Structure 1
């Protein structure tokens, strides 16, 4: 499927005392990329919530490879690799461009997102508006 890429600048608030991105913030960057991927399809999570649909993580695996540093420009990708009745699986990467303009991988992982209903908090089929947009 198509790779969605979100550029992100690393701010001081994203780092620890050593100027290295704090481990939990990689997960926040990945969530931003998935949210912006959905937005790029014309869907807003708050509008979906008003219709009774929420998305929750059910599985997460991440590999930390190299540190991202304060004030760096990094890139976060979200690639939908599987789409099931009530869930989606994403492969995600975080990298910076090196001097040879090649990707220098900082972290990568997979994330399984499940659609649930707002009232019962139980899995439910993906909204047709999303299913129709996904190739």
Structure 2
């Protein structure tokens, strides 16, 4: 699970407040979408995890540091990297910046997701091979 995955996001009118600045909660949506696309890029999906393994990703913790505002019509790049891997959890390090400006970090996030049984919602180990490169 090495490497950084990147996903482009555009800031639309619906994402902004009256001043044309992206509403803070949208950063969480963008981070989530990038994690989902990271999973797809690995040939896996939330649907397969649930239907074939009886498991699901669930958000356990998220920390976001907002540094600069995203604005209407910005093209953004969301980076996803697995920072830590546990028996039943992953910690993602994520960065959001304007496309083409990797030094202009808009926000960073540290996100812990857990693998849980979809019936009991108790933690369980990742399915065999699920997180292998």
Question: How many residue pairs were aligned?
Answer: 131
Give a deviation string over 1:37-65, Cα, whole Å, max 9, x none.
Answer: 01000001111111311111111110000
Q: Which runs of 5+ in 2 are unaligned?
A: none
Once the 2 structures are TM-superposed, how far is the Cα of residue 13 of structure 1 from its aligned partner?
0.8
Tell me which stretches of 4 or more aligned residues in structure 1 moved more than 6 Å.
none
Residue in 2 that maps onto 1:128: 128
- Cα distance in 1 between the residues matched to 2:23 and 2:34: 18
Aligned counterpart in structure 2 of residue 71 of structure 1, from 70, 73, 87: 73
Residue in 1 that maps onto 2:109: 109
Once the 2 structures are TM-superposed, how far is the Cα of residue 96 of structure 1 from its aligned partner?
0.8
Give a deviation string over 1:67-120, Cα, whole Å, max 9, x none.
Answer: 00011101101100111110000000000146xx54310000100000001011
CA separation of 1:106 and 1:128: change in aligned 2, threshold 3 A: same
Give yes or no for contact 1:75–1:95 (8 Å, CA) kept in 2. yes
Once the 2 structures are TM-superposed, how far is the Cα of residue 129 of structure 1 from its aligned partner?
3.3
Residue in 1 that maps onto 2:23: 22
- Cα distance in 2 between the residues matched to 1:115 and 1:40: 19
Q: Which runs of 5+ in 1 are unaligned?
A: none
- Cα distance in 1 between the residues matched to 2:5 and 2:132: 18
Aligned counterpart in structure 1 of residue 87 of structure 2, from 85, 88, 93: 85
- Cα distance in 1 between the residues matched to 2:127 and 2:18: 43
When the two chains are superposed, the root-mean-square deviation of aligned CA atoms in Å is: 1.2
CA separation of 1:41 and 1:97: change in aligned 2, threshold 3 A: closer
